[in-house]
Amino acid sequence: MTHEPREENMSANDRIRLFIVRELHWTGAPDELTDDYPLIERNVLDSVGIFHLTSFLEREFEMVVDDEELVPENYGSIGRLTSFVESKRTN
């Protein structure tokens, strides 16, 4: 019997991916949601999704996202989101 890793033991990257699958109702194949999959361009994230994802990031990673940080450069893919989270956590 295999078990999924506990969420607190997962990487930031995997926690973000899991949120997108569970909470934003990703309907594609799991292996299609790669680190560089274009979330905004492919309509995975819309304005409501960005709001929910931002709330998740702030809660999950104990950080504050400023309005000027709500840009495609930070939200364009799981890889970009992970880099953004890591940069905020080191500041």
User: Which two three-digit tokens encode residue 1?
Assistant: 């019997």
Q: Is 10 exposed, middle or buried (0-12, 13-18, 19+ CB in 10 A)?
A: middle
Full DSSP string of 7-70? GGGS-HHHHHHHHHHHHS---S-GGGS-TT--TTTTTS--HHHHHHHHHHHHHHTT----GGG-
pTM confidence score: 0.87
Stretches in the chain below the pLDDT threshold 70: 1-8
Residue 17 falls within a domain, yes or no? yes
Q: What is the CATH number of the domain that holds 41?
A: 1.10.1200.10
Q: Which domain holds residue 49?
A: 11-90
Task: Give pLDDT, residue 22.
Answer: 94
Q: Is 23 a domain residue?
A: yes
Per-residue model confidence (pLDDT) at position 89: 82
| Total structural domains within the chain | 1
DSSP 8-state code for residue 91: -
Q: Is the residue at 65 inside a domain? A: yes
